[in-house]
Amino acid sequence: GENVEQHPSTLSVQEGDSAVIKCTYSDSASNYFPWYKQELGKRPQLIIDIRSNVGEKKDQRIAVTLNKTAKHFSLHITETQPEDSAVYFCAASKGSGNTGKLIFGQGTTLQVKP
């Protein structure tokens, strides 16, 4: 089955710096890759996603890149702010979108220091 590895497990940056979180997946049939943000004590929420027919997607300060050949994808956050501090999860699934079977990475705790 699918296996998703996420690195680093913790990341500390200064406010205004960029943060990059990387994930690799094992199943070449996976074609949908979302990123979720989970603030302390709250539920995960989708922040951005990408399909396998797209190499990059941006939404304001957040971007995701996908390398299908290498089977890895990354989350880029620019101009980080203290409110970006949270746990971030990558995930992968097959099918045309989210079919309820998301396989998640282990999570990255991002700390943005003011």
Partner 1 sequence: NAGVTQTPKFQVLKTGQSMTLQCAQDMNHEYMSWYRQDPGMGLRLIHYSVGAGITDQGEVPNGYNVSRSTTEDFPLRLLSAAPSQTSVYFCASSTQGSTEAFFGQGTRLTVV
What does the binding site for partner 1 look like in residue numbers (CB under 8 A)? 1, 6, 9, 32, 34, 42-46, 49, 89, 91, 96-107
Query: CA-to-CA distance for 41 and 102, rounded, in angstroms?
Result: 21
Shortest Å distance, C-beta 60 to partner 1: 17
Shortest Å distance, C-beta 30 to partner 1: 14
Residue type, 106: Q
Query: CA-to-CA distance for 94 and 103, rounded, in angstroms?
Result: 10
Residue with tokens 């300060």: 61
Q: Helix, strand or coil for residue 19?
A: strand
Shortest Å distance, C-beta 14 to partner 1: 25
Shortest Å distance, C-beta 22 to partner 1: 14
Q: Which is nearer to partner 1, 6 or 85 (CB)?
A: 6
The two three-digit tokens of residue 62, written as one number: 């957040």
Q: Which is nearer to partner 1, 41 or 114 (CB)?
A: 41
How many residues does this entry show for the chain? 114
Q: Which is nearer to partner 1, 62 or 103 (CB)?
A: 103
